[in-house]
A and B are shown apart, each in its own frame.
Chain A
Amino acid sequence: MTAQAAEQRELAVVIGLEVHVQLETATKIFCGCSTRADEDEAPNTRTCPTCLGLPGALPVLNEGAVEAAVKIGKALSAEIPEQTTFHRKNYYYPDLPKNFQLTQYDAPICADGSLEISVEGTRRSIGITRAHLEEDPGSLQHKGGSIDTADYTLVNYNRAGTPLVEIVTEPDFRSPAETRAFLAKLEEVLAYLGVFDATRDGSLRVDANISLVDAEAVAEDGSISDEALESANRTEVKNISSHKGAEKALAYEVTRQKNAIQRGRVIEQETRHWDETRGITVSMRSKEAEKDYRYFREADLPPLEVSDWKAKIPIPELPDARRDRFASEYGLDGESASKLTSTKAVADFFEDVAESFDPDLAATWVADNLLGELNYRDMEVTDISDRLEEFTTLISLVDADEVTVKNAEEIVLRSMLDEGDDPETIIDREGLGKADDDAIGAFVTEAIEENPDAVEDYHNGEDGALNFLVGQVMQKSRGSADPGTVNALLQDELA
């Protein structure tokens, strides 16, 4: 194709994801070592003969990991096949003490699912090809240089054997933004299931396959023919660690591939590494082809037959169902219901609050005020999860008219987030307790005495004068007076 012809091609983006999710179990997938990584833990202190791959040690599957995988399958409307098996994936790298990774190959625990996402108001269903269980490798430190130039390598097997589920999607994404929405939704569903902790470092790792095809190859319903997919060279982007990272990495890769195609170049089929700090993808040395992994059945792990677990293991209400229930049960509009179910922590907090207060008040405080202020500070509700009672106290103070809505929103809430004090302390310190009528009466008298001109204007029928006096009183009360009460008192005094 000439460069000019290439320029005229309308291109469509095709992306599929492989998402590695760390499961929240107490122990590793094939041994009883703890998965709890304390921040300052010493290396190689959570190991045993099994996860160190010592001769003679045998893996025994963790029931908790299987349960978590079944829950994930259920939430993704996937099938749990009659029988599922484990394989050895052979490759030589020091993060694998056994020189193979225990994983699943041709009989994964979940198959044929889907997850619905919403991007800019459009709902789309993303196909899930499969999800399988596997063990995490250990971690490496390259000392004395970068990965290529290091002098030597230090190996820590604390992470080795941590249970992972790898979720593989169909090539159903048509933009980087869709992958971000999908990953956010997936994280949310996993958090609802209680099988995943997004705050753990490295708990979500993403590889993405991306190619560009002729826009004409995309059918009306968004599907793309197998021929078009096979004829386009794709790159695999590794080392993506967040949903924001996925969008950035893939946006970069779309631009890179478009530029290459426009210059008449062929996209090389290769693996590329996302360099988060530099914001670019770089070509990686080509690794093993699939047959080089020499997959074979793990004879030490008997097959699993857990398809009946799907009916036995309950899963909680998921975000979409909860959103619909919030709308009907609490009479919330769609936007508030969506905001309030955006994370499990927020939704749980809202339901707590809505139990004791009017749902509208609860919705305003949680969806608008609290989330708004948190968002402004780049904080999440999980950052204040141990202080939620204080926020309930604030709402009860507003509900009981102990503090004005304005002061509660603009001073108390902000100060709670910025300074970390509890609402009562702030109200006392700032003198924000709603002023009683005697105190307001005194301010009214003061304002009248101090502003004879305004009083005269008022008697001359000037419209602005009363408002000016109300303002004066409000200032003296530092906003703690109710403007309606002040207005009435002034009119009485001046009558």
Chain B
Amino acid sequence: MSDSPVDADAVRHVADLARVNLDEEDVETFTEQFGDILSYFDALDEVPSIDREAELVNVMRPDEVTDGLSQDEALQNATETEDGFFKGPNVS
């Protein structure tokens, strides 16, 4: 089991960091759901340990320019754009 069960304060704090507003009902729902999600990880404790393969090191690429996306391609999933920019709400 997780050592620290999720409480309402933890959910509010995480929501705050994520800049998401939650009402009390949401907090209750998410507290329960977070707890559930974390409990799924407990299943990992049941997995038998195996020898790890040798870890990779020094995976790098040469400093050479490759083709990227066009502006249209870059913006195609954005719900709102303006003059080639992604457009979003005010943030401070």
Tell me the A residues contacting B by CB distance below 8 Å: 25-27, 31-34, 42-49, 51-52, 54, 60-66, 83, 90-94, 140-142, 147-148, 150-157, 285, 288, 292, 301-306
Residues of A within 8 A of B89 (CB): 152-153
Shortest beta-carbon distance from A211 to chain B in Å? 27
Minimum C-beta distance from A148 to chain B (A)? 5
Which of B23-31, B36-44, B68-76 forms contacts with chain A? B68-76
Say whether, besides A288-B17, A304-B57, A44 and B71 are in contact (CB < 8 Å): yes
The contact sample of 18 A-B pairs, CB cut-off 8 A, is A26-B65, A42-B84, A47-B69, A61-B59, A63-B60, A66-B60, A90-B17, A91-B17, A151-B90, A152-B88, A153-B88, A154-B87, A155-B87, A157-B74, A292-B17, A302-B56, A305-B57, A306-B58
A42 to B72 Cα, complex, angstroms: 12
Chain B min CB distance to A151 (Å):
6
Instruction: Tell me the interface secondary structure of chain B in the complex.
Output: loop
| Binary per-residue interface labels of chain B (41-85) against chain A in the complex, 1 for a CB within 8 Å, 0 otherwise | 000000000000001111111111111111100110100001111
Q: Is the CB of B85 within 8 A of A155?
A: yes
Nearest residue (CB) in A for B84 is A43
Q: How far is the CA of A44 from the CA of B17 in the complex (A)?
A: 27
Contacts of A43 in B (CB 8 A): 71, 83-85
Name B86's closest neighbour in chain A (CB-CB). A155
* Additional 5 contacts, C-beta under 8 A, given A43-B83, A63-B62, A155-B85: A34-B65, A48-B69, A92-B19, A153-B88, A153-B91
CA distance A90 to B18 in the complex (A): 10
- The chain A residue sitting closest to B77, CB to CB, is A54
Chain A residues with CB under 8 A of B88: 94, 152-155
CA distance A91 to B16 in the complex (A): 11
Nearest-neighbour CB distance to chain B for A56, whole angstroms, equals 13
Minimum C-beta distance from B60 to chain A (A): 4
Residues of the B chain whose Cβ atoms lie less than 8 Å from the Cβ of A44: 71, 74-75, 84-86
Across the interface, name the chain B residue whose C-beta is closest to A301: B59
Which B residues are in CB contact (< 8 Å) with A150?
90, 92
Q: A46 — nearest CB in chain B belongs to which residue?
A: B68
Q: A141–B59 Cα gap in the complex (Å)?
A: 35
Contact A61 B55 (CB under 8 A): no
Known A27-B64, A32-B64; judge A156-B92 contact (CB<8 A): no
| A/B pair count, beta carbons within 8 Å | 124
Q: Are A141 and B90 in contact (CB under 8 A)?
A: no
| CA A10 to CA B4, docked complex, whole Å | 48
Chain A residues near B66: list those with CB within 8 A: 27, 31-33, 48
Interface residue ranges, B against A (CB under 8 Å): 13, 17-19, 55-71, 74-75, 77, 82-92
Given known pairs A47-B74, A156-B85, the reply for A93 and B91 (CB within 8 Å) is yes
Given A32-B68, A45-B71; A64-B63 close (CB under 8 Å): yes
Give CA–CA (A92, B13) in the complex, Å.
Answer: 13
- Known A26-B65, A43-B83, A48-B68: A285·B92 in contact at CB below 8 Å: yes
Q: Which residues of A contact B67 (CB under 8 A)?
A: 32
| CA distance in complex: A34, B89 (Å) | 28
Compute how far the CA of A93 lies from the CA of B92 in the bound complex, rounded to whole angstroms.
9
- Please report the C-alpha to C-alpha distance between residue A453 and residue B18 in the assembled complex, in whole angstroms: 94
Q: What's the Cα separation between A60 and B58 when bound, in Å?
A: 10
Give Cα distance in the complex from A63 to B91, angstroms: 35
Nearest B residue (CB) for A48: B68
List, in ascending order, chain A residues with CB within 8 A of B64's CB.
26-27, 32
* Smallest beta-carbon distance A50→chain B, Å: 9
* In contact, B82 and A154 (Cβ under 8 angstroms): yes
Min CB distance B41 to A, Å, is 14
A285 to B62, alpha carbons, bound, how many Å?
Answer: 41
Closest residue of chain B to A148 (Cβ to Cβ) is: B92
CA distance A43 to B63 in the complex (A): 23
**Given the complex of chains A and B, what is the CA–CA distance between A34 and B70 in angstroms?**
13
Report yes or no: A25 in contact with B55, Cβ–Cβ below 8 A. Answer: no
A32 B71 Cβ-Cβ under 8 A:
no
Tell me whether B56 and A153 are in contact (CB under 8 A): no
The residues of B that contact A93 with a CB separation of less than 8 Å are 91
Chain A residues with CB under 8 A of B90: 142, 150-153
Complex A-B, nearest 3 residue pairs according to Cβ-Cβ distance, in ascending order: A64-B63, A32-B66, A154-B85
Complex contact A62–B59 (CB within 8 A): no
A156 to B70, CA, bound (A): 13
Give the distance in Å from the alpha carbon of A47 to the alpha carbon of B77 in the complex. 14
Q: How far is the CA of A42 from the CA of B82 in the complex (A)?
A: 12
Most interface-central of B65, B84, B85 (chain A CB within 10 A): B85
Please give me the residue from chain A that is nearest to B68 by CB atom: A48
B residues less than 8 Å from A48 (CB atoms): 66, 68-69
With contacts A43-B84, A44-B86, A153-B90 taken as known, whether A52 is within 8 angstroms of B63 at the C-beta atoms is: no
The answer to whether A61 and B57 touch across the interface, beta carbons within 8 angstroms, is: no
Min distance, Cβ B57 to any Cβ of chain A, angstroms:
5
What residues of B have a CB within 8 angstroms of the CB of A302 in the complex? 55-59
Neighbouring B residues of A27 by C-beta, 8 Å: 63-66
State the CA gap A44–B72 with chains docked (Å): 9
Closest to B59 in A: A302
- Are B74 and A63 touching (Cβ within 8 A)? no
